[in-house]
Structure 1
Amino acid sequence: MTTRPAHLSLLAATALVGAGLTTPALAAPSPVTERGVDLDVRFATFNASLNRGAEGQLTEDLSSGSNQQARNVAETIQRSAPDVVLINEFDYARDNVDLFRDNYLEVGQGGADPVDYPYAYIAPSNTGVPSGLDLNNDGEVGGPDDAYGFGLFPGQYGMVVYSRFPIDTEAVRTFQRFRWTDMPGNLIPGDYYDSEEREALRLSSKSHWDVPILVGGKTVHLLAAHPTPPTFDGEEDRNGRRNHDEIRFWADYVAGPQHSRYIYDDQGRTGGLRPGERFVIAGDYNADPYDGDSRDAAINQLLDHRRVSTQTVPDSEGAVEASEVQGGANEEHVGDPAHDTADFNDNPEPGNLRVDYVLPSRSLPVRDAGVFWPTSDDPHFDLVGTFPFPTSDHRLVWTDVRLPHRG
């Protein structure tokens, strides 16, 4: 969850990991990755809280190799061993991709093996980009609430993708500048924004990316995003409405031409994925299917989607333990605590929630899935800890999919 301070060009870059099947805490050997064989590939998402309160501060922290939080993030990734990982809340700067790879991921942390991702992708974010409009209706123009996405500076709370497999950078599509008003049937609160504001509003609070990953001669589209939290607003529910429509964007994008023809990317190309294309939707979507503040069960637009595989739900024993120990709002939750992916304030609310997702297309058989949330007696519990968290209030979520060599 993007927090308040208290609490367009494309850029391809090289960077970061190793590999295949693991338990929630310890990595295992990589599967075979040759053409002509079945491939098991681990996709992961991690809101790593690698955001800082001032522009350039993350670059400084990543330059030394000694920042403890960044070391914890790297060790979490090393022990989970995803082949492809989306990191949310990673401040956008060109140098940060290599600095995190070279100084942290490629250096063994806490006894874990180093990881090597030769490919990465990063691009600008709407966060902190001035809109020139009074979007929060406080009578003044400027500041984080009046940016296209909440942020103290451009690129705060950005994101990055690291991959062990090649990224087809020429085919990447970004939707940073897609206007919210251009989504048919959108939920823009018309009585809150004036006509000029409605015309200027961008849908993505950060961005939406379609990043094609080339695996064993096949393409898997990593659909990355980080919708705004459905909070920090008023009765108009502008953030709850935006969160809903940011999630809907991917639901329409993968549903076929009839639903996606309105979509255009930052290069002017239109439409969504073609029927039959493989994809994995990943990111912190700030929406739980049962609990929390999201609007109209927003995440169910994906969880109930006919093209999305949701039979295998990532879980952990650590989430169950945390819910029982912390109590508070967790005691009133409807959802299974084993599926929680984030440890939020329990008193008064919202409690721990499932907000981070790795959702493959039905054309990608799921082999396994999990959440890196060790129990308190696990030797790696210190990577998640208790508040104030040593790494992040979110947990890394992973799903293993199989790419058959035929088809």
Structure 2
Amino acid sequence: MNRRCTTFAAIGAVVAGTALTTPATAAGGEPAVRFATFNASLNRPAAGDLLADLSTPDDPQAAKVAEVVQRARPDVLLLNEFDHVEGGAAVDAFRDNYLAVGHHGARPIDYPYSYTAPVNTGVPSGMDLDHDGVVGGPGDAHGFGEFPGQYGMVVLSKHPIDEDAVRTFQGFRWADMPGALLPDDPATPEPADWYSPEELREVRLSSKSHWDVPVEVGGRRIHLLAAHPTPPNFDGPEDRNGLRNHDEIRFWSDYVHPARGDYLYDDAGRSGGLAPGARFVIAGDHNSDPVDGDSVPGAADRLLDAHRVRDPEPASAGAVQAAHDQGGANAEHRGPARLDTADFSDDAPGNLRVDYVLPSWPLRPTGSGVFWPAPQDPTARLNDASDHHLTWVDLRP
């Protein structure tokens, strides 16, 4: 039996039932605050489709996603792959028609505060960025997508969001990152020349966007640092997606470091990174496993080793059982299966840890988990809501 699966019995007692827990009370009677990320796969093939699906209460996938949220009950939640609709109509429809309605005995959940904004997916660049000889289509957009807003992001919160203080970095240019890992055209002798100088003046770093969303929790401000870097595959020998994934992840590492973020600028023109000492939680589907999968080596470590970051290592028994039962690439993985958050193809890349909730010191983790019920759990029927699993961390604010 491979080393990724031998821990099942050992961790079963520790993580069994974590999918149904609610935020605990921290030492001293102070309630813990649950931060979570969930790539909910609420994306649709055409603009308007998601809003149409959420405008009625009978979309099966949306109902499963809502039930996962209701059972995990996060206080602050980042949803990845939620198609962006101007004005937030899709967010309102999801709250009203799904989150506010109990599913299979799960209690409704209310998020009075939310934040969403445009993303780069599907936004035309006007350039042949994928070198297929044709200008236009998802491969030439600023972020891969069939229409503007596909694979967007949403923050839902029980605590107030200071929208006036939100910083977005949708327009930050990749070439403006010092030492950027720009892709190289293997057919030419020049280095890092996949993009022309004219293209580099336009190519953006974020495949979706990077958001700094300040949330007021118990009189303290916690910056939710939200992103969804591109998958590190679906390209060619130039590895432009892998390199972009690395640098999208590096963005937050530089942003939270007091000596590395001076070069950054947001969409409002403000320069610099996060204020020294500010509390933060990095969250999102970063499409990078620390040791397995196709990402550039060390990419995930940019998060895990970032300044003041703590890694509570959210785990689940369901992930261990899935790696054991599915086999395939999972049998060759080096990372512990208990930390997996995504159920990918058994052949390649197998199940991976790609979804992260990483708090900063002095925030104190009091619990963590991944909503990945084992097959014998009645809620295992929710495991196909998405190919990712909701990942959460309880924090003493």
Please, what TM-score do these two structures have when normalized by structure 2? Answer: 0.91
Residue 248 of structure 1 aligns to a residue whose secondary structure is: helix
Task: Deviation per CA, 1:3-53: give whole Å up to 9, x if none.
Answer: xxxxxxxxxxxxxxxxxxx95222437759xxx973410000000000000
1:299 aligns with 2:300: yes
AA in 2 matched with 1:61: D
Superposition RMSD in Å: 1.4
Which of 81, 97, 109 does residue 103 from structure 1 map onto? 97
Q: Which residue of 2 aligns with 1:353?
A: 352
CA–CA distance in structure 1, aligned partners of residues 207 and 23 of structure 2: 37
AA in 1 matched with 2:391: V
CA–CA distance in structure 1, aligned partners of residues 386 and 23 of structure 2: 27
Name the stretch that deviates more: 293-302 or 114-123: 293-302
Q: CA deviation at 1:306?
A: 3.4
Q: Which residue of 1 aligns with 2:237?
A: 235
CA–CA distance in structure 2, aligned partners of residues 30 and 78 of structure 1: 16
8 Å CA contact retained: 2:35, 2:394: yes
AA in 2 matched with 1:64: T
Q: Which residue of 2 aligns with 1:113?
A: 107
1:70 aligns with 2:67: no
Q: Which residue of 1 aligns with 2:335?
A: 335
- Total equivalences in the alignment: 371
Q: Which residue of 2 aligns with 1:8?
A: none
Q: Which residue of 1 aligns with 2:7?
A: none
Which of 200, 203, 206 does residue 202 from structure 2 map onto? 200
Identity of matched residues, %: 63
Q: Which residue of 2 aligns with 1:13?
A: none
CA–CA distance in structure 1, aligned partners of residues 325 and 288 of structure 2: 23
CA–CA distance in structure 1, aligned partners of residues 60 and 353 of structure 2: 26
Residue 243 of structure 1 aligns to a residue whose secondary structure is: helix
Which of 61, 81, 87 does residue 79 from structure 2 map onto? 87
Q: Which residue of 1 aligns with 2:214?
A: 212
CA–CA distance in structure 2, aligned partners of residues 174 and 267 of structure 1: 8
Runs (4+) of structure 1 exceeding 3 A deviation are 27-32, 36-39
Q: CA deviation at 1:297?
A: 2.1
8 Å CA contact retained: 1:27, 1:78: no
CA–CA distance in structure 1, aligned partners of residues 101 and 338 of structure 2: 32
Question: Equivalent residues in 2 for 1:257-406 (5 A)?
Answer: 258-310=259-311, 312-347=312-347, 349-384=348-383, 389=384, 391-403=385-397
CA–CA distance in structure 2, aligned partners of residues 38 and 315 of structure 1: 24
1:50 aligns with 2:49: no
CA–CA distance in structure 2, aligned partners of residues 282 and 28 of structure 1: 19
Runs (5+) with no aligned partner, structure 1:
1-21
8 Å CA contact retained: 2:264, 2:272: yes
8 Å CA contact retained: 1:105, 1:116: yes
Q: Which residue of 2 aligns with 1:156?
A: 150
8 Å CA contact retained: 1:120, 1:162: yes
8 Å CA contact retained: 1:39, 1:216: no
Runs (5+) with no aligned partner, structure 2:
1-15, 184-191
Q: Which residue of 1 aligns with 2:8?
A: none
8 Å CA contact retained: 2:43, 2:150: yes
Q: Which residue of 2 aligns with 1:24?
A: 18
CA–CA distance in structure 2, aligned partners of residues 27 and 324 of structure 1: 25
8 Å CA contact retained: 2:39, 2:390: yes
Q: Which residue of 2 aligns with 1:6?
A: none
Residue 25 of structure 1 aligns to a residue whose secondary structure is: helix
Please, what TM-score do these two structures have when normalized by structure 1? Answer: 0.89
CA–CA distance in structure 2, aligned partners of residues 133 and 305 of structure 1: 34
1:246 aligns with 2:238: no
CA–CA distance in structure 2, aligned partners of residues 56 and 337 of structure 1: 37
Q: CA deviation at 1:195?
A: 1.1
| Pair 1:397–1:49, CA change in 2 (3 A) | same
CA–CA distance in structure 2, aligned partners of residues 297 and 327 of structure 1: 25
Task: Deviation per CA, 1:264-318: give whole Å up to 9, x if none.
Answer: 00000111111110000000000000100000220101112231001x2000000
8 Å CA contact retained: 2:256, 2:307: no
Question: Equivalent residues in 2 for 1:4-43 (5 A)?
Answer: 23-28=17-22, 38-43=30-35
CA–CA distance in structure 2, aligned partners of residues 113 and 277 of structure 1: 34
8 Å CA contact retained: 1:210, 1:223: yes
CA–CA distance in structure 1, aligned partners of residues 307 and 370 of structure 2: 24
CA–CA distance in structure 2, aligned partners of residues 305 and 117 of structure 1: 30
8 Å CA contact retained: 2:38, 2:391: yes
Task: Deviation per CA, 1:121-170: give whole Å up to 9, x if none.
Answer: 00001000000000000111000000000000000000100000000000
| Pair 1:126–1:271, CA change in 2 (3 A) | same
8 Å CA contact retained: 2:224, 2:280: yes
Which of 105, 109, 116 does residue 122 from structure 1 map onto? 116
| Pair 1:306–1:289, CA change in 2 (3 A) | same
